């Protein structure tokens, strides 16, 4: 059975268990607990889409739960609209709210996003109070209970809640296995690297936010009808809503659709039972239980039960995969079809007068050069010369203060990194930026999605790119199991999987043994034949002279010289900047030795 089919069979099994419980238990109170388990699992799954997969921790997700509840109930109370239709209004309002909240809030990174989301439900809560909706009762419709979601039989609510749970599980599964899911996981691991690999992080986060608002709104509407009967700001926008959501997700494990389910199945019965037995004498026992569960899980299994059990499980059988390793077949060629050469030898990339300063430090000033189709251009300079800053400007991480970058004749300054990647400029990083919790294959797939929308085809593309780097046997490992050379090759594979026309390689030889340097250099040398132009940063002159067709020398942010390796290495200004005056004196004495070394055509 394929992995995809297995996922849906497991969801069907969950539904089956849910049905058995629904028709197997008799006490009304147990039905209430069952409904709550399904509802909080749904709410947890909703939160999981934006916070688990995409890693954008939202402390305000009850905003959507509350909007779903309030809109549905108000439509029923004011317009006599049946909740089945009113719920759609609630979902619409929640998704709209997600867009309105997300548009400004996704500009904030990390903890700032989480803190900002705190404010929204508080605002809704205050506004509901102010509008006089402190208590909105669901109008009783005894003659048409089914039409107005007012079932006598508690099993009906179980089934309703189970239905939305099943739908949310399927939605989560679809997200997990889609291109969006891979992009979200890449964003969670390293947003900048994801952007550089062509992921439009803002749009992906926004889709995830909208997809997570919808089930939250449905859960809120059903919760209002099954449990509350009277909607109050505190009950749907209150702290306990987000606390239960967080608890079921974090106890079960975020970032997988099984986590919230496991968390809800454990936490909800425990806290409800305690509340019903001790709640009279000890009001607040539920809060203590949730608090203790959160603290315990963070101290002893911060990744959650699902991941903990899984890592124990796979720890037994996973060794075999590690040891097999096929003989590498190194070849860059035909990862990308060679594009038609640019007419009249016009430059591929034109860099014109780029300047960039950080708080008074002039990192780049008036840097201009061309990258020509099919060449290997070396950019060298001592540490702090501005080389990486230059790459960050070229791939869109930084906006230059002045100057322009033109790609195939059109300006690309000011474009987002993912747009620049899609246009055909790939890059690697000096300090490698891998997605640590994605497998090697999935790492490369993130790049492959730039050219392939379907996961299966992206996977095939990634496997192909990995095989060409000799990493075929490493595909299913996580990057932590790789050597530095393998990691650098993986980054190169990920970059080439985006089918770039130009790659910016930031110190690809750093930290490699001499064998590794040989291997990497030979890979890079093959690139132009495969239609990939290379711009490469190094600070070791020696490696560069052998590798590059042409050199640009930077010193303290200024271009110092440009030309053939032989010319540049003989240029006294370069030698002085690079190696100091003393070296220059010695060098002039032994000029011949350098001439002999420079044997490139």
Partner 1 sequence: MASELTQYVVTGLLVGGVYALMSIGLALIFGVMRVVNFAQGDFMMLGMYLTYFYAVALGIDPLLGALVTIPPFFLAGLVLHRVFLARVTGGGDPNREMDAQLILTLGMSLIITNATTMILSPTPRAIRTTYATQAFALGPVLLNQARTYAFVMAILLAGAMYAFLTRTDLGKALRAAADDPEAASYQGINVRAMHGVAFGVGIALVAAAGGLLATYYPIEPNVAVNFIVLMFVAVVLGGLGSIPGAFVGGLAIGLVQSLTLLVLPLQLQNVGVFVAFLVVLYVRPQGLFGRRARTV
- The span from the CA of 536 to the CA of 218, in Å, is 52
Stretch that binds partner 1, among 32-40, 112-120, 378-386, 388-396 (CB under 8 A): 112-120
Of 17 and 118, nearer to partner 1 (C-beta) is: 118
Closer CB to partner 1, 437 or 457, in the complex = 437
Tell me whether residue 116 or residue 482 sits nearer to partner 1 (CB atom): 116
Q: Is 361 in the site for partner 1 (CB under 8 A)?
A: no
Shortest distance (Å) from residue 232 CB to partner 1: 15
Query: Helices 305-317 & 239-252, crossing angle to 10 degrees?
Result: 10
Report the residue number, 118 or 573, with the smaller CB distance to partner 1: 118
Name which of 52, 358, 89 is nearest 184 in CA terms: 52
Residues numbered 277 to 336 that lie near partner 1 (CB under 8 A) are: 282-288, 290-296, 298-299, 302
Distance CA 110, CA 51 (A): 11
Which residues are CB-contacts of 181 (< 8 A; sequence separation ≥ 6)?
53, 175
Q: Choose which of 10, 21, 82, 119 interacts with partner 1 (CB under 8 A).
A: 119
Beta carbon nearer to partner 1, 62 or 72: 62
Find how far residue 331's CA is from the centre of its chain.
Answer: 29
Under the binding rule (CB under 8 A), the answer on residue 100 touching partner 1 is no
Binds partner 1 by CB under 8 A, chosen from 127, 147, 329, 573 = 127
For residues 194 and 184, give the distance between their C-alpha atoms in angstroms, rounded to a whole number: 9
- Nearer to partner 1 by Cβ, of 21 and 278: the residue is 278
* Part of the chain binding partner 1 (CB under 8 A), chosen from 125-133, 210-218, 383-391, 506-514: 125-133
Asked if 478 touches partner 1 (CB under 8 A), the answer is no
The correct pick among 34, 69, 87, 116 for binding partner 1 (CB under 8 A) is: 116
Among 20, 96, 100, 118, contact with partner 1 (rule: CB under 8 A): 118
- The two tokens of residue 346 are 């016009």
Q: Which of 8, 23, 29, 112 binds partner 1 (CB under 8 A)?
A: 112
Helix and strand totals (H; E) in the chain = 25, 12
* Subset of residues 188 to 227 that bind partner 1, contact rule: CB under 8 A: 191-192
CB 285 → partner 1: shortest distance, Å?
7
Part of the chain binding partner 1 (CB under 8 A), chosen from 117-125, 208-216, 559-567, 593-601: 117-125
Examine residue 110 and tell whether it contacts partner 1 (CB under 8 A): yes
- In the complex with partner 1, which residue's Cβ is closer, 105 or 533? 105
Query: Should residue 99 be labelled a site residue for partner 1 when binding is judged by CB under 8 A?
Result: no
C-alpha neighbours within 13 Å on the C-beta side of residue 456: 3
d(CA 454, CA 506): 30
Residue 512 · residue 520 · CB < 8 Å: yes
Per-residue 3-state assignment (H helix, E strand, C coil) for 426-493? EECCCCCCCCCCCCHHHHHHHHHCCCCCCHHHHHHHHHHHHHHCCCHHHCCCCHHHCCHHHHHHHHHH
Q: DSSP secondary-structure letter at 228?
A: I
> Are the C-beta atoms of residues 138 and 222 closer than 8 Å to each other?
no
User: Could you say whether residue 97 binds partner 1 (CB under 8 A)?
Assistant: no
Considering only residues 165, 218, 221, 246, which one is a binding residue for partner 1 as defined by CB under 8 A? Answer: 246
Told to check if 357 binds partner 1 by CB under 8 A, we report no
Please work out the total of residues on this chain that contact partner 1, with binding judged by CB under 8 A.
Answer: 42
Assign residue 366 a region (left: φ > 0; alpha: ψ between -120 and 50; beta: otherwise). Answer: left
Per DSSP, the three-state class of 341 is: coil
Residue 410: partners with Cβ closer than 8 Å, 6 or more residues away = none
Taking the complex as a whole, the smallest distance from the CB of residue 291 to partner 1 amounts, in Å, to: 3
Task: Please tell me whether residue 53 binds partner 1 under the rule CB under 8 A.
Answer: no
507 binds partner 1 (CB under 8 A): no
Question: Which residues lie closer than 8 Å to 103 by C-beta, 6 or more apart?
Answer: 206
- Per-residue binding letters, 56-95, with partner 1 (x by CB under 8 A): -x--------------------------------------
Q: Give the whole-angstrom CA distance, residue 551 versus residue 345.
A: 18
Q: By CB under 8 A, is residue 126 in contact with partner 1?
A: yes
CB of 123 to partner 1, least distance (A): 5
According to DSSP, residue 328 is labeled P
State the minimum distance, in angstroms, from the CB of residue 315 to partner 1.
Answer: 16
Run of H or E residues at 411: strand 410-411
Cβ–Cβ under 8 Å, residues 173 and 257: yes
**Can you give the binding site for partner 1, defined by CB under 8 A?**
57, 104, 107-112, 114-116, 118-119, 122-123, 126-127, 129-130, 191-192, 239, 243, 246, 250, 282-288, 290-296, 298-299, 302
């Amino acid at each position: 059975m394929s992995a995809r089919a297995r996922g849906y069979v497991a969801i069907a099994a969950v539904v089956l268990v849910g049905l058995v419980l629904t028709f197997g238990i008799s006490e009304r109170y147990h039905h209430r607990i069952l409904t709550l388990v399904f509802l909080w699992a749904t709410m947890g799954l909703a939160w999981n889409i934006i916070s688990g997969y995409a890693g954008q921790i939202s402390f305000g997700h009850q905003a959507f739960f509350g909007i779903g509840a309030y809109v549905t109930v108000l439509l029923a109370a004011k317009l006599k609209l049946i909740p089945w239709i009113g719920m759609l209004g609630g979902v619409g309002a929640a998704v709209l709210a997600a867009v309105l909240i997300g548009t400004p809030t996704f500009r904030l990174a990390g903890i700032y996003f989480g803190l900002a989301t705190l404010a929204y439900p508080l605002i809704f809560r205050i506004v509901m109070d102010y509008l006089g909706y402190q208590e909105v009762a669901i109008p009783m419709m005894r003659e048409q209970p089914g039409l107005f979601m007012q079932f006598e039989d508690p099993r009906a609510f179980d089934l309703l809640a189970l239905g939305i749970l099943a739908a949310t599980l399927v939605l989560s599964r679809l997200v997990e296995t889609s291109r969006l899911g891979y992009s979200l996981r890449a964003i969670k691991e390293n947003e900048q690297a994801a952007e550089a690999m062509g992921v439009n992080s803002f749009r992906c986060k926004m889709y995830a936010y909208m997809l997570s608002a919808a089930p939250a709104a449905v859960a809120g509407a059903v919760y209002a009808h099954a449990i509350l009967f009277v909607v109050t700001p505190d009950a749907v926008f209150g702290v306990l809503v987000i606390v239960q959501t967080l608890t079921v997700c974090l106890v079960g494990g975020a970032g997988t659709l099984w986590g919230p389910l496991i968390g809800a199945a454990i936490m909800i019965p425990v806290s409800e039972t305690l509340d019903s037995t001790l709640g009279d004498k000890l009001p607040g026992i539920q809060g203590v239980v949730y608090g203790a569960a959160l603290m315990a899980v963070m101290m002893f299994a911060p990744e959650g039960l699902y991941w903990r059990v899984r890592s124990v499980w796979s720890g037994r059988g996973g060794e075999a995969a590690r040891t097999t390793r096929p003989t590498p077949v190194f070849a860059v060629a035909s990862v990308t079809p060679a594009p038609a050469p640019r007419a009249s030898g016009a430059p591929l990339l034109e860099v014109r007068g780029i300047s960039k300063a950080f708080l008074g430090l002039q990192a780049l000033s008036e840097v201009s050069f061309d990258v020509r189709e099919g060449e290997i251009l070396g950019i060298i300079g001592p540490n702090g010369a501005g080389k990486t800053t230059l790459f960050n400007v070229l791939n869109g991480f930084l906006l230059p203060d002045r100057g322009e970058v033109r790609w195939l004749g059109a300006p690309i300054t000011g474009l987002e990194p993912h747009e620049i990647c899609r246009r055909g400029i790939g890059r690697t990083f000096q300090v490698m930026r891998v997605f640590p919790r994605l497998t090697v294959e999935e790492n490369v797939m993130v790049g492959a999605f730039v050219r392939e929308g379907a996961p299966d085809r992206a996977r095939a593309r990634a496997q192909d790119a990995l095989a060409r780097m000799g990493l075929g046997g490493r595909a299913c490992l996580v990057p932590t199991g790789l050597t530095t050379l393998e990691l650098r090759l993986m980054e190169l594979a990920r970059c080439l999987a985006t089918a770039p026309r130009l790659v910016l390689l930031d110190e690809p030889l750093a930290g490699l043994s001499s064998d590794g340097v040989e291997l990497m250099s030979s890979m890079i040398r093959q690139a132009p034949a495969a239609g990939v132009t290379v711009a490469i940063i190094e600070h070791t002159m020696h490696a560069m002279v052998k590798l590059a067709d042409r050199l640009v020398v930077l010193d303290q942010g200024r271009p110092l010289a440009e030309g053939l390796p032989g010319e540049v290495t003989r240029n006294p200004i370069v030698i002085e900047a690079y190696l100091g005056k003393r070296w220059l004196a010695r060098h002039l004495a032994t000029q011949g030795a350098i001439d002999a070394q420079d044997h490139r055509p």
